[in-house]
Amino acid sequence: MERKTITKEKVVGMQVVDGDARLIGVVKDVSFAVGESRMYLVVELKDGKIQEFPWEDIQAAGDFVLLRPKPRIEAVAPTPTVTPTQAPAAQAQTLCPTCGKPLTYIQQYKRWYCYNEQKYV
């Protein structure tokens, strides 16, 4: 099995293409995290920012560095659920000004009736 190696000299200056075949920048350097065996590609992005990519993100390196397609983190938008506009019972009720019990609207007389006190308010 052929072992694929890539040297810093070779990779620096290479264009970096992401998993969606978009040119994202140019390799500026290779960095090593202290205390880790990880290596990072230091990439200057098109907007001039520097971003590090873990070495294992590299899918292939030839004329340019191809990064692995990233598992897309979908923005989990809450699905708008149509909730029936149901006002809480307490809000829908008109309370008796004297005893505080719910009143009943008597359509026939167009008045509010308190069953608790058995009177119109």
Distance CA 70, CA 67 (A): 8
Residue 93 near Zn ion by CB under 5 A: no
Residue 20 near Zn ion by CB under 5 A: no
Among 45, 51, 17, which residue's Cα sits nearest to residue 31?
51
| 70 versus 101: smaller Cβ distance to Zn ion | 101
Among 96, 107, 112, 115, binds Zn ion (CB under 5 A): 96
27 beta partners: 43
| 55 versus 112: smaller Cβ distance to Zn ion | 112
| 32 versus 120: smaller Cβ distance to Zn ion | 120
Which range binds Zn ion by CB under 5 A, 14-22, 40-48, 73-81, 97-105?
A: 97-105
Kindly list the strands in the beta sheet with 119-120, ordered across the sheet, starting from the edge strand earlier in the chain: 104-106, 111-114, 119-120
- The sign of the dihedral angle between the CA atoms of 89, 92, 93, 97 is positive
Q: Which residues are near Zn ion by CB under 5 A?
A: 96, 98-99, 114, 116-117
